[in-house]
Chain A
Amino acid sequence: MSAIRLRGLSKTFRKGFWMKPMHALRGVDLSVREGEIFGFLGPNGAGKTTTIKILTGLIHPSAGEAWIGDLPVEVPESRKKLGFLPEGTFFHDHLTGLEFCEMHARLLGIPRAERRDRIRDLMVRVGLADSEAKQIRHYSKGMRQRVGLAQALLGDPEVVILDEPMSGLDPVGRREVRDLILELREQGRTVFFSSHVLADAEMICDQVAVIVAGRVVETGYLADLLGRQMGGVELVVEGLSEERWQELSRASRRSVGHGMRHLFEFSDEDTVEKALDEVRRDGGRIVSLVPARRSLEDLVVERSRSVGMR
Protein backbone atom coordinates (compact mmCIF):
# COMPACT_ATOMS: atom_id res chain seq x y z
CA MET A 1 0.00 0.00 0.00
CA SER A 2 1.19 3.54 -0.70
CA ALA A 3 1.78 5.88 2.21
CA ILE A 4 0.57 8.81 0.12
CA ARG A 5 -1.34 8.73 -3.14
CA LEU A 6 -2.52 11.56 -5.36
CA ARG A 7 -4.69 11.07 -8.41
CA GLY A 8 -5.45 13.77 -10.92
CA LEU A 9 -5.10 16.44 -8.27
CA SER A 10 -5.97 19.93 -9.51
CA LYS A 11 -6.40 23.25 -7.77
CA THR A 12 -7.58 26.46 -9.30
CA PHE A 13 -7.51 29.64 -7.27
CA ARG A 14 -9.83 32.51 -7.96
CA LYS A 15 -8.96 35.76 -6.27
CA GLY A 16 -12.28 37.33 -7.18
CA PHE A 17 -14.58 36.22 -9.92
CA TRP A 18 -13.49 38.94 -12.29
CA MET A 19 -9.87 37.83 -11.94
CA LYS A 20 -8.27 35.27 -14.22
CA PRO A 21 -8.30 31.84 -12.56
CA MET A 22 -4.86 30.66 -11.41
CA HIS A 23 -4.12 26.99 -12.05
CA ALA A 24 -1.80 26.06 -9.20
CA LEU A 25 -2.08 22.29 -9.82
CA ARG A 26 -2.95 20.72 -13.16
CA GLY A 27 -3.54 17.04 -12.56
CA VAL A 28 -0.88 15.72 -10.21
CA ASP A 29 -0.43 11.95 -9.89
CA LEU A 30 1.95 10.59 -7.31
CA SER A 31 2.47 7.58 -5.18
CA VAL A 32 4.84 7.46 -2.23
CA ARG A 33 5.98 4.05 -1.00
CA GLU A 34 5.93 3.26 2.69
CA GLY A 35 9.20 3.68 4.54
CA GLU A 36 10.85 5.86 1.91
CA ILE A 37 12.11 9.40 1.85
CA PHE A 38 10.32 11.21 -0.94
CA GLY A 39 11.58 14.57 -2.18
CA PHE A 40 8.98 16.84 -3.74
CA LEU A 41 11.08 19.27 -5.73
CA GLY A 42 10.51 22.25 -7.91
CA PRO A 43 11.03 25.98 -8.29
CA ASN A 44 9.11 28.51 -6.22
CA GLY A 45 5.49 28.76 -7.19
CA ALA A 46 5.44 25.28 -8.73
CA GLY A 47 2.61 24.05 -6.50
CA LYS A 48 4.44 22.21 -3.72
CA THR A 49 2.76 23.97 -0.82
CA THR A 50 -0.63 23.73 -2.51
CA THR A 51 -0.23 19.95 -2.82
CA ILE A 52 0.85 19.64 0.80
CA LYS A 53 -2.06 21.76 2.02
CA ILE A 54 -4.45 19.44 0.24
CA LEU A 55 -2.76 16.44 1.86
CA THR A 56 -3.07 17.98 5.30
CA GLY A 57 -6.69 18.97 4.88
CA LEU A 58 -6.12 22.74 4.75
CA ILE A 59 -7.46 23.32 1.27
CA HIS A 60 -9.87 21.38 -0.86
CA PRO A 61 -8.83 20.19 -4.32
CA SER A 62 -10.77 21.50 -7.33
CA ALA A 63 -10.55 18.02 -8.83
CA GLY A 64 -8.86 14.72 -8.13
CA GLU A 65 -8.30 12.70 -5.03
CA ALA A 66 -5.68 12.29 -2.32
CA TRP A 67 -5.11 9.59 0.28
CA ILE A 68 -2.92 9.20 3.31
CA GLY A 69 -2.53 5.45 3.71
CA ASP A 70 -5.95 4.05 2.83
CA LEU A 71 -7.96 7.05 4.02
CA PRO A 72 -9.04 9.94 1.80
CA VAL A 73 -7.82 13.31 3.07
CA GLU A 74 -11.39 14.53 3.53
CA VAL A 75 -11.76 12.50 6.71
CA PRO A 76 -10.01 13.89 9.79
CA GLU A 77 -8.93 10.36 10.80
CA SER A 78 -6.53 10.36 7.83
CA ARG A 79 -4.44 12.76 9.88
CA LYS A 80 -4.20 10.48 12.89
CA LYS A 81 -0.88 8.99 11.84
CA LEU A 82 0.36 12.14 10.13
CA GLY A 83 3.00 14.55 11.33
CA PHE A 84 3.14 17.94 9.60
CA LEU A 85 5.53 20.85 9.63
CA PRO A 86 4.12 23.75 7.59
CA GLU A 87 6.20 26.14 5.51
CA GLY A 88 7.34 29.04 7.63
CA THR A 89 6.99 28.71 11.38
CA PHE A 90 3.56 29.95 12.34
CA PHE A 91 2.98 28.81 15.88
CA HIS A 92 1.14 30.09 18.92
CA ASP A 93 3.82 32.46 20.11
CA HIS A 94 2.29 33.01 23.51
CA LEU A 95 2.99 29.42 24.54
CA THR A 96 6.25 28.03 25.84
CA GLY A 97 7.80 25.19 23.86
CA LEU A 98 6.55 22.75 26.46
CA GLU A 99 2.99 24.13 26.57
CA PHE A 100 2.91 24.10 22.78
CA CYS A 101 3.82 20.42 22.63
CA GLU A 102 1.45 19.69 25.50
CA MET A 103 -1.43 21.32 23.64
CA HIS A 104 -0.78 19.41 20.45
CA ALA A 105 -0.27 16.15 22.32
CA ARG A 106 -3.68 16.66 23.91
CA LEU A 107 -5.25 17.43 20.54
CA LEU A 108 -3.81 14.13 19.34
CA GLY A 109 -5.42 12.40 22.29
CA ILE A 110 -2.16 11.08 23.74
CA PRO A 111 -2.92 9.84 27.27
CA ARG A 112 -1.59 11.94 30.11
CA ALA A 113 0.71 9.18 31.35
CA GLU A 114 2.57 9.00 28.04
CA ARG A 115 2.49 12.70 27.26
CA ARG A 116 5.15 13.91 29.65
CA ASP A 117 7.78 11.36 28.68
CA ARG A 118 7.18 11.65 24.99
CA ILE A 119 7.44 15.44 25.03
CA ARG A 120 10.59 15.31 27.16
CA ASP A 121 12.22 12.82 24.80
CA LEU A 122 11.36 14.88 21.75
CA MET A 123 12.56 18.14 23.27
CA VAL A 124 15.88 16.46 23.99
CA ARG A 125 15.96 14.95 20.52
CA VAL A 126 15.51 18.31 18.81
CA GLY A 127 17.85 20.03 21.25
CA LEU A 128 15.36 22.30 22.98
CA ALA A 129 15.47 20.79 26.45
CA ASP A 130 17.07 23.94 27.85
CA SER A 131 14.59 26.32 26.24
CA GLU A 132 11.35 24.41 26.73
CA ALA A 133 10.12 26.85 29.38
CA LYS A 134 10.67 29.92 27.17
CA GLN A 135 7.83 31.39 25.14
CA ILE A 136 8.10 30.60 21.44
CA ARG A 137 8.08 34.32 20.64
CA HIS A 138 11.61 34.43 22.09
CA TYR A 139 12.87 31.54 19.94
CA SER A 140 15.26 31.95 17.01
CA LYS A 141 14.22 30.80 13.54
CA GLY A 142 16.13 27.55 13.98
CA MET A 143 14.54 26.89 17.38
CA ARG A 144 11.06 27.53 15.97
CA GLN A 145 11.77 25.03 13.23
CA ARG A 146 12.84 22.50 15.84
CA VAL A 147 9.83 22.94 18.08
CA GLY A 148 7.73 22.55 14.94
CA LEU A 149 9.49 19.28 14.19
CA ALA A 150 8.93 18.09 17.75
CA GLN A 151 5.24 18.88 17.29
CA ALA A 152 5.17 16.93 14.02
CA LEU A 153 6.59 13.84 15.70
CA LEU A 154 4.43 13.87 18.83
CA GLY A 155 1.83 11.46 17.55
CA ASP A 156 4.35 8.76 16.57
CA PRO A 157 3.39 9.39 12.93
CA GLU A 158 3.69 6.81 10.18
CA VAL A 159 3.84 9.56 7.59
CA VAL A 160 5.73 12.81 8.11
CA ILE A 161 5.11 15.73 5.74
CA LEU A 162 7.56 18.61 5.87
CA ASP A 163 7.13 21.73 3.73
CA GLU A 164 10.52 23.30 2.98
CA PRO A 165 12.02 22.02 6.24
CA MET A 166 15.49 23.31 5.41
CA SER A 167 14.75 26.73 4.03
CA GLY A 168 16.01 29.60 6.09
CA LEU A 169 18.37 27.42 8.12
CA ASP A 170 22.14 27.72 8.30
CA PRO A 171 24.32 24.82 7.08
CA VAL A 172 24.43 23.26 10.54
CA GLY A 173 20.67 23.46 10.89
CA ARG A 174 20.16 21.95 7.44
CA ARG A 175 22.47 19.11 8.32
CA GLU A 176 20.52 18.46 11.51
CA VAL A 177 17.25 18.32 9.63
CA ARG A 178 18.80 15.95 7.09
CA ASP A 179 20.02 13.67 9.84
CA LEU A 180 16.62 13.74 11.48
CA ILE A 181 14.89 12.79 8.22
CA LEU A 182 17.26 9.85 7.80
CA GLU A 183 16.60 8.83 11.38
CA LEU A 184 12.86 8.90 10.73
CA ARG A 185 13.32 6.48 7.84
CA GLU A 186 15.40 4.21 10.07
CA GLN A 187 12.42 4.12 12.42
CA GLY A 188 10.27 2.91 9.55
CA ARG A 189 8.39 6.14 8.89
CA THR A 190 7.63 7.61 5.49
CA VAL A 191 8.94 11.12 4.95
CA PHE A 192 7.52 13.40 2.26
CA PHE A 193 9.26 16.75 2.08
CA SER A 194 9.30 19.62 -0.36
CA SER A 195 12.34 21.64 -1.20
CA HIS A 196 13.79 23.96 -3.76
CA VAL A 197 17.22 23.38 -2.24
CA LEU A 198 18.20 20.46 -4.39
CA ALA A 199 21.57 19.65 -2.89
CA ASP A 200 19.85 18.79 0.37
CA ALA A 201 17.40 16.50 -1.33
CA GLU A 202 20.02 14.78 -3.44
CA MET A 203 21.80 13.48 -0.38
CA ILE A 204 18.87 11.80 1.33
CA CYS A 205 15.99 10.99 -1.01
CA ASP A 206 15.00 7.57 -2.21
CA GLN A 207 12.50 8.85 -4.76
CA VAL A 208 11.79 12.32 -6.04
CA ALA A 209 9.13 14.03 -8.07
CA VAL A 210 9.88 17.24 -9.90
CA ILE A 211 6.92 19.60 -10.15
CA VAL A 212 6.92 22.58 -12.47
CA ALA A 213 3.99 24.92 -13.02
CA GLY A 214 1.52 22.58 -11.38
CA ARG A 215 2.56 19.44 -13.26
CA VAL A 216 4.80 16.58 -12.21
CA VAL A 217 7.38 16.46 -14.98
CA GLU A 218 9.67 13.77 -13.64
CA THR A 219 9.35 11.12 -11.00
CA GLY A 220 11.26 8.06 -9.91
CA TYR A 221 14.24 6.79 -7.99
CA LEU A 222 16.99 9.34 -7.80
CA ALA A 223 19.62 6.87 -8.92
CA ASP A 224 17.63 6.07 -12.07
CA LEU A 225 16.89 9.66 -12.91
CA LEU A 226 20.44 10.85 -12.51
CA GLY A 227 21.91 7.68 -13.95
CA ARG A 228 20.08 8.06 -17.21
CA GLN A 229 22.40 9.49 -19.89
CA MET A 230 25.25 9.07 -17.50
CA GLY A 231 28.57 7.65 -18.59
CA GLY A 232 31.51 9.55 -19.93
CA VAL A 233 34.00 11.49 -17.90
CA GLU A 234 34.72 15.03 -16.95
CA LEU A 235 38.27 16.30 -17.41
CA VAL A 236 39.63 19.54 -15.99
CA VAL A 237 43.00 20.81 -17.19
CA GLU A 238 45.15 23.89 -16.82
CA GLY A 239 47.51 25.70 -19.14
CA LEU A 240 46.34 24.55 -22.54
CA SER A 241 47.26 26.41 -25.70
CA GLU A 242 44.43 28.10 -27.56
CA GLU A 243 44.86 25.78 -30.48
CA ARG A 244 44.67 22.60 -28.40
CA TRP A 245 41.64 23.95 -26.52
CA GLN A 246 39.78 24.43 -29.80
CA GLU A 247 40.71 20.95 -30.90
CA LEU A 248 39.65 19.20 -27.70
CA SER A 249 36.45 21.20 -27.59
CA ARG A 250 35.48 19.73 -30.92
CA ALA A 251 36.15 16.21 -29.69
CA SER A 252 34.21 16.65 -26.44
CA ARG A 253 30.52 16.47 -25.62
CA ARG A 254 30.67 19.70 -23.68
CA SER A 255 33.40 22.18 -22.85
CA VAL A 256 33.75 25.23 -20.68
CA GLY A 257 36.72 27.56 -20.39
CA HIS A 258 37.47 29.84 -17.50
CA GLY A 259 40.80 31.68 -17.32
CA MET A 260 43.59 29.14 -17.36
CA ARG A 261 41.22 26.30 -16.70
CA HIS A 262 39.23 24.22 -19.11
CA LEU A 263 36.58 21.60 -18.50
CA PHE A 264 35.70 18.94 -21.05
CA GLU A 265 33.12 16.21 -20.93
CA PHE A 266 33.89 13.18 -23.07
CA SER A 267 31.46 10.42 -23.93
CA ASP A 268 33.85 7.49 -24.28
CA GLU A 269 37.16 6.30 -22.93
CA ASP A 270 39.07 6.27 -26.24
CA THR A 271 38.61 9.99 -26.74
CA VAL A 272 39.66 10.61 -23.15
CA GLU A 273 42.88 8.63 -23.63
CA LYS A 274 43.69 10.62 -26.77
CA ALA A 275 42.83 13.89 -25.06
CA LEU A 276 45.07 13.08 -22.09
CA ASP A 277 47.98 12.38 -24.44
CA GLU A 278 47.46 15.66 -26.21
CA VAL A 279 47.25 17.62 -22.98
CA ARG A 280 50.55 16.14 -21.78
CA ARG A 281 52.21 16.81 -25.14
CA ASP A 282 51.01 20.39 -24.94
CA GLY A 283 52.55 20.80 -21.48
CA GLY A 284 49.16 21.21 -19.79
CA ARG A 285 48.43 20.04 -16.28
CA ILE A 286 45.63 17.62 -15.43
CA VAL A 287 43.62 18.98 -12.51
CA SER A 288 40.97 16.30 -12.22
CA LEU A 289 39.43 13.39 -14.05
CA VAL A 290 36.06 12.16 -12.74
CA PRO A 291 33.06 10.25 -14.09
CA ALA A 292 30.51 12.73 -15.46
CA ARG A 293 27.33 12.81 -13.41
CA ARG A 294 24.17 14.75 -13.79
CA SER A 295 23.17 16.60 -10.68
CA LEU A 296 19.62 16.93 -9.50
CA GLU A 297 19.95 20.60 -10.25
CA ASP A 298 20.75 19.87 -13.90
CA LEU A 299 17.68 17.68 -14.04
CA VAL A 300 15.33 20.24 -12.56
CA VAL A 301 16.67 23.12 -14.62
CA GLU A 302 16.43 21.02 -17.76
CA ARG A 303 12.85 19.94 -17.07
CA SER A 304 11.81 23.45 -16.05
CA ARG A 305 13.13 24.81 -19.35
CA SER A 306 11.31 22.20 -21.33
CA VAL A 307 8.06 23.29 -19.71
CA GLY A 308 8.88 26.87 -20.58
CA MET A 309 9.64 28.27 -17.16
CA ARG A 310 12.73 30.21 -16.23
Chain B
Amino acid sequence: MSSLLQILNRIMVLAQNTLREAVRNRLLYNLLFFAVLMIVSSILLAELHLGHSDRIYRDVGLSAIAGFGSLIAIFVGIGLLSREIDQKTVYIVLSKPIGRWEFLAGKFVGLAGVLMVQVVAMGACFLGVLWLQGAEITGGLFQAIGLIYTELVLLTALALFFSTFTTSYLAGMFTLAFWVVGHLLMDLRTFGAHSEVESLRLLTESLYWTLPNLDRLDLKAEAAAGLTSQGVHVVTALAYAACYSLGLLLAAASLFRRRDFH
Protein backbone atom coordinates (compact mmCIF):
# COMPACT_ATOMS: atom_id res chain seq x y z
CA MET B 1 0.00 0.00 0.00
CA SER B 2 1.08 3.55 -0.63
CA SER B 3 1.67 5.82 2.32
CA LEU B 4 -0.43 8.94 2.71
CA LEU B 5 2.61 11.05 1.89
CA GLN B 6 3.16 9.21 -1.39
CA ILE B 7 -0.48 9.64 -2.33
CA LEU B 8 -0.43 13.37 -1.55
CA ASN B 9 2.76 13.71 -3.54
CA ARG B 10 1.18 12.07 -6.60
CA ILE B 11 -1.93 14.22 -6.33
CA MET B 12 0.27 17.30 -6.27
CA VAL B 13 2.20 16.09 -9.34
CA LEU B 14 -1.07 15.70 -11.24
CA ALA B 15 -2.36 19.06 -9.99
CA GLN B 16 0.83 20.76 -11.09
CA ASN B 17 0.47 19.23 -14.53
CA THR B 18 -3.07 20.59 -14.87
CA LEU B 19 -1.96 24.05 -13.85
CA ARG B 20 0.96 23.85 -16.24
CA GLU B 21 -1.31 22.80 -19.07
CA ALA B 22 -3.58 25.79 -18.46
CA VAL B 23 -0.58 28.11 -18.50
CA ARG B 24 1.16 26.55 -21.50
CA ASN B 25 -1.93 26.43 -23.66
CA ARG B 26 -2.43 30.15 -23.05
CA LEU B 27 -5.91 29.28 -21.90
CA LEU B 28 -5.34 30.98 -18.59
CA TYR B 29 -4.10 34.23 -20.13
CA ASN B 30 -6.90 34.44 -22.64
CA LEU B 31 -9.54 33.91 -19.99
CA LEU B 32 -7.91 36.35 -17.61
CA PHE B 33 -7.65 39.01 -20.24
CA PHE B 34 -11.29 38.55 -21.12
CA ALA B 35 -12.47 38.53 -17.50
CA VAL B 36 -10.53 41.63 -16.55
CA LEU B 37 -11.83 43.42 -19.60
CA MET B 38 -15.39 42.51 -18.65
CA ILE B 39 -15.01 43.66 -15.05
CA VAL B 40 -13.54 47.01 -15.95
CA SER B 41 -16.02 47.64 -18.75
CA SER B 42 -19.05 46.65 -16.68
CA ILE B 43 -18.10 49.09 -13.93
CA LEU B 44 -17.50 51.83 -16.46
CA LEU B 45 -20.79 51.08 -18.20
CA ALA B 46 -22.61 51.14 -14.87
CA GLU B 47 -21.19 54.57 -14.16
CA LEU B 48 -22.29 55.78 -17.58
CA HIS B 49 -25.87 54.57 -17.24
CA LEU B 50 -26.57 54.52 -13.53
CA GLY B 51 -24.43 57.32 -12.24
CA HIS B 52 -21.72 57.42 -9.63
CA SER B 53 -22.45 55.12 -6.68
CA ASP B 54 -20.15 52.97 -4.56
CA ARG B 55 -22.92 50.46 -4.12
CA ILE B 56 -23.46 50.00 -7.85
CA TYR B 57 -19.72 49.64 -8.53
CA ARG B 58 -19.40 46.98 -5.89
CA ASP B 59 -22.51 45.16 -7.00
CA VAL B 60 -21.65 45.14 -10.70
CA GLY B 61 -18.01 44.22 -10.10
CA LEU B 62 -18.81 41.32 -7.77
CA SER B 63 -21.49 40.05 -10.15
CA ALA B 64 -19.04 40.14 -13.02
CA ILE B 65 -16.44 38.18 -11.01
CA ALA B 66 -19.04 35.60 -9.99
CA GLY B 67 -20.57 35.31 -13.46
CA PHE B 68 -17.39 35.00 -15.48
CA GLY B 69 -15.74 32.97 -12.78
CA SER B 70 -18.58 30.46 -12.91
CA LEU B 71 -18.48 30.12 -16.67
CA ILE B 72 -14.71 29.67 -16.53
CA ALA B 73 -14.99 27.11 -13.74
CA ILE B 74 -17.58 25.06 -15.61
CA PHE B 75 -16.01 25.07 -19.04
CA VAL B 76 -12.37 24.90 -18.05
CA GLY B 77 -13.11 22.17 -15.54
CA ILE B 78 -14.94 20.05 -18.06
CA GLY B 79 -12.54 20.96 -20.85
CA LEU B 80 -9.37 19.98 -19.05
CA LEU B 81 -10.78 16.66 -17.84
CA SER B 82 -12.40 15.59 -21.09
CA ARG B 83 -9.22 16.56 -22.94
CA GLU B 84 -7.28 13.98 -20.97
CA ILE B 85 -9.82 11.32 -21.85
CA ASP B 86 -10.48 12.30 -25.48
CA GLN B 87 -6.80 12.76 -26.25
CA LYS B 88 -6.00 9.56 -24.37
CA THR B 89 -3.28 11.15 -22.26
CA VAL B 90 -5.01 9.44 -19.36
CA TYR B 91 -3.76 6.02 -20.54
CA ILE B 92 -0.20 6.24 -19.32
CA VAL B 93 -1.14 8.13 -16.19
CA LEU B 94 -3.66 5.49 -15.12
CA SER B 95 -1.27 2.67 -16.04
CA LYS B 96 0.96 3.89 -13.22
CA PRO B 97 0.51 2.34 -9.78
CA ILE B 98 -2.00 4.99 -8.71
CA GLY B 99 -5.67 4.81 -7.85
CA ARG B 100 -8.07 6.41 -10.28
CA TRP B 101 -9.42 8.64 -7.56
CA GLU B 102 -5.95 10.14 -7.20
CA PHE B 103 -6.10 11.26 -10.81
CA LEU B 104 -9.46 12.89 -10.17
CA ALA B 105 -8.22 14.51 -6.98
CA GLY B 106 -5.15 15.84 -8.78
CA LYS B 107 -7.33 17.30 -11.50
CA PHE B 108 -9.57 18.91 -8.89
CA VAL B 109 -6.71 20.47 -6.95
CA GLY B 110 -5.10 21.67 -10.18
CA LEU B 111 -8.35 23.28 -11.34
CA ALA B 112 -8.81 24.89 -7.94
CA GLY B 113 -5.35 26.37 -8.48
CA VAL B 114 -6.28 27.66 -11.94
CA LEU B 115 -9.40 29.26 -10.44
CA MET B 116 -7.40 30.75 -7.59
CA VAL B 117 -5.17 32.54 -10.09
CA GLN B 118 -8.29 33.76 -11.94
CA VAL B 119 -10.08 35.02 -8.86
CA VAL B 120 -7.02 36.72 -7.42
CA ALA B 121 -6.40 38.50 -10.70
CA MET B 122 -10.04 39.50 -11.20
CA GLY B 123 -10.36 40.53 -7.55
CA ALA B 124 -7.21 42.64 -7.65
CA CYS B 125 -8.40 44.30 -10.79
CA PHE B 126 -11.82 44.98 -9.30
CA LEU B 127 -10.43 46.44 -6.08
CA GLY B 128 -8.01 48.51 -8.15
CA VAL B 129 -10.86 50.04 -10.13
CA LEU B 130 -12.84 50.71 -6.92
CA TRP B 131 -9.83 52.42 -5.41
CA LEU B 132 -9.31 54.55 -8.50
CA GLN B 133 -12.99 55.53 -8.36
CA GLY B 134 -12.54 56.50 -4.74
CA ALA B 135 -15.02 53.94 -3.46
CA GLU B 136 -14.60 52.54 0.03
CA ILE B 137 -13.04 49.08 0.24
CA THR B 138 -14.63 47.09 3.05
CA GLY B 139 -13.90 43.74 4.64
CA GLY B 140 -17.21 42.50 3.26
CA LEU B 141 -15.77 42.65 -0.25
CA PHE B 142 -13.05 40.18 0.68
CA GLN B 143 -15.62 37.90 2.27
CA ALA B 144 -17.76 38.04 -0.85
CA ILE B 145 -14.83 37.33 -3.16
CA GLY B 146 -13.69 34.48 -0.93
CA LEU B 147 -17.11 32.88 -1.11
CA ILE B 148 -17.28 33.40 -4.85
CA TYR B 149 -14.08 31.39 -5.06
CA THR B 150 -15.70 28.75 -2.86
CA GLU B 151 -18.66 28.60 -5.21
CA LEU B 152 -16.33 28.15 -8.19
CA VAL B 153 -14.63 25.24 -6.45
CA LEU B 154 -18.01 23.66 -5.78
CA LEU B 155 -18.96 24.13 -9.43
CA THR B 156 -15.71 22.42 -10.42
CA ALA B 157 -16.59 19.44 -8.26
CA LEU B 158 -20.00 19.38 -9.92
CA ALA B 159 -18.45 19.60 -13.40
CA LEU B 160 -16.02 16.76 -12.63
CA PHE B 161 -18.87 14.68 -11.26
CA PHE B 162 -20.91 15.02 -14.46
CA SER B 163 -17.83 14.53 -16.64
CA THR B 164 -17.20 11.10 -15.16
CA PHE B 165 -20.29 9.60 -16.73
CA THR B 166 -21.42 11.71 -19.64
CA THR B 167 -20.09 13.60 -22.65
CA SER B 168 -18.44 16.96 -22.13
CA TYR B 169 -21.35 18.69 -23.87
CA LEU B 170 -23.97 17.19 -21.57
CA ALA B 171 -21.75 17.67 -18.53
CA GLY B 172 -21.54 21.36 -19.43
CA MET B 173 -25.30 21.64 -19.81
CA PHE B 174 -26.01 19.81 -16.54
CA THR B 175 -23.55 21.91 -14.58
CA LEU B 176 -24.96 25.12 -16.06
CA ALA B 177 -28.47 23.98 -15.12
CA PHE B 178 -27.38 23.22 -11.56
CA TRP B 179 -25.69 26.60 -11.36
CA VAL B 180 -28.89 28.38 -12.36
CA VAL B 181 -31.14 26.27 -10.15
CA GLY B 182 -28.62 26.49 -7.30
CA HIS B 183 -29.24 30.23 -7.22
CA LEU B 184 -33.02 29.88 -7.36
CA LEU B 185 -33.50 27.34 -4.59
CA MET B 186 -34.54 29.86 -1.94
CA ASP B 187 -37.18 31.34 -4.23
CA LEU B 188 -38.30 27.89 -5.28
CA ARG B 189 -38.78 26.87 -1.67
CA THR B 190 -40.73 30.01 -0.88
CA PHE B 191 -42.88 29.40 -3.92
CA GLY B 192 -43.55 25.80 -2.86
CA ALA B 193 -44.34 26.78 0.71
CA HIS B 194 -47.11 29.06 -0.49
CA SER B 195 -48.54 26.41 -2.78
CA GLU B 196 -51.80 24.61 -2.07
CA VAL B 197 -50.52 21.37 -3.59
CA GLU B 198 -48.88 19.19 -0.97
CA SER B 199 -46.72 17.23 -3.42
CA LEU B 200 -45.33 20.41 -4.95
CA ARG B 201 -44.41 21.66 -1.52
CA LEU B 202 -42.67 18.35 -0.81
CA LEU B 203 -40.82 18.54 -4.10
CA THR B 204 -39.49 22.07 -3.63
CA GLU B 205 -38.56 21.27 -0.06
CA SER B 206 -36.58 18.17 -1.02
CA LEU B 207 -34.87 19.98 -3.89
CA TYR B 208 -33.92 22.70 -1.47
CA TRP B 209 -32.20 20.20 0.79
CA THR B 210 -30.48 18.09 -1.86
CA LEU B 211 -29.32 20.39 -4.64
CA PRO B 212 -26.30 22.62 -4.04
CA ASN B 213 -27.62 25.80 -2.48
CA LEU B 214 -25.35 28.37 -4.06
CA ASP B 215 -27.15 31.33 -2.49
CA ARG B 216 -25.62 30.30 0.80
CA LEU B 217 -22.29 31.29 -0.70
CA ASP B 218 -23.56 34.60 -1.95
CA LEU B 219 -22.59 37.67 0.08
CA LYS B 220 -22.64 40.04 -2.86
CA ALA B 221 -25.64 42.08 -1.72
CA GLU B 222 -24.26 42.54 1.81
CA ALA B 223 -20.82 43.46 0.51
CA ALA B 224 -22.29 45.89 -2.01
CA ALA B 225 -24.15 47.60 0.81
CA GLY B 226 -20.85 48.03 2.58
CA LEU B 227 -21.66 45.46 5.27
CA THR B 228 -19.31 42.89 6.72
CA SER B 229 -20.93 39.57 7.61
CA GLN B 230 -20.44 37.69 10.85
CA GLY B 231 -17.55 35.24 10.85
CA VAL B 232 -19.79 32.37 11.88
CA HIS B 233 -21.95 32.91 8.81
CA VAL B 234 -18.92 32.70 6.52
CA VAL B 235 -17.55 29.63 8.28
CA THR B 236 -20.90 27.81 8.02
CA ALA B 237 -21.02 28.60 4.31
CA LEU B 238 -17.47 27.30 3.85
CA ALA B 239 -18.26 24.11 5.74
CA TYR B 240 -21.39 23.59 3.66
CA ALA B 241 -19.45 23.97 0.41
CA ALA B 242 -16.63 21.72 1.63
CA CYS B 243 -19.02 18.91 2.59
CA TYR B 244 -20.99 19.21 -0.63
CA SER B 245 -17.85 19.20 -2.78
CA LEU B 246 -16.41 16.24 -0.93
CA GLY B 247 -19.64 14.31 -1.45
CA LEU B 248 -19.57 15.08 -5.17
CA LEU B 249 -15.93 14.07 -5.47
CA LEU B 250 -16.54 10.78 -3.68
CA ALA B 251 -19.43 10.00 -6.00
CA ALA B 252 -17.32 11.04 -9.00
CA ALA B 253 -14.47 8.79 -7.83
CA SER B 254 -16.73 5.80 -7.49
CA LEU B 255 -18.11 6.32 -11.01
CA PHE B 256 -14.64 6.97 -12.42
CA ARG B 257 -13.31 3.76 -10.91
CA ARG B 258 -15.83 1.65 -12.82
CA ARG B 259 -15.28 3.36 -16.11
CA ASP B 260 -13.55 1.83 -19.16
CA PHE B 261 -11.11 3.99 -21.10
CA HIS B 262 -11.46 3.40 -24.82
Contact = CB atoms under 8 A, between A and B. Distances in A.
State yes or no: do A and B come from one complex: yes
B9 A84 contact: no
A58 B260 contact: yes
Chain B, interface residues (CB within 8 Å), range: 20 to 34
A107 B98 contact: yes
B6 to A, nearest CB: 6
Nearest to A108: B96
A103 B96 contact: no
Contacts of B25: 94
Given A95-B20, A103-B17, A84 B92 contact: yes
A51 interface: no
Interface in A64-92: 76-80, 82, 84, 86, 88, 90-92
Given A59-B260, A59-B261, A94 B97 contact: no
A94 B20 contact: yes
A194 B182 CA distance: 50
Chain A, interface residues (CB within 8 Å), range: 20 to 34
Contacts of B87: 90
A228 B163 CA distance: 53
Contact of B6 (A84, A109, A151): A109
Contacts of B97: 76-80, 82, 108
Contacts of A148: 92
Contact of B89 (A53, A90, A135): A90
B91 A94 contact: no
A178 interface: no
Contacts of B94: 56-58
Contacts of B260: 53, 58-60
Contact of A107 (B89, B96, B261): B96
B21 A94 contact: yes
B258 A60 contact: yes
Nearest to A11: B260
Contacts of B117: none
Contacts of B17: 92, 95, 103
Nearest to A83: B95
A78 B2 CA distance: 12
A109 B20 CA distance: 20
A109 B1 CA distance: 13
Contact of B88 (A56, A82, A86, A94): A86
A94 B25 CA distance: 7
Contacts of A254: none
Interface string B230-262: 000000000000000000000000000010111
B139 interface: no
A104 interface: yes
B261 A76 contact: no
Contacts of A57: 94-95
B262 A59 contact: yes
Contacts of A91: 89, 92
A244 interface: no
Contacts of B49: none
Contacts of A135: 24
B89 A109 contact: no
Contacts of A109: 2, 6, 9-10
A86 B10 contact: no
A103 B95 contact: no
Interface in B126-178: none
B36 to A, nearest CB: 24
Contacts of B96: 79, 104, 107-108
B262 A103 contact: no
A103 B89 CA distance: 13
A79 B21 contact: no
Interface of B: 1-2, 6, 9-10, 13-14, 17, 20-21, 24-25, 87-89, 91-99, 258, 260-262
Given A76-B99, A90-B88, 4 more contacts: A56-B94, A76-B98, A86-B91, A104-B92
Nearest 6 A/B pairs, CB to CB:
A90-B88, A59-B260, A94-B24, A56-B95, A84-B95, A80-B97
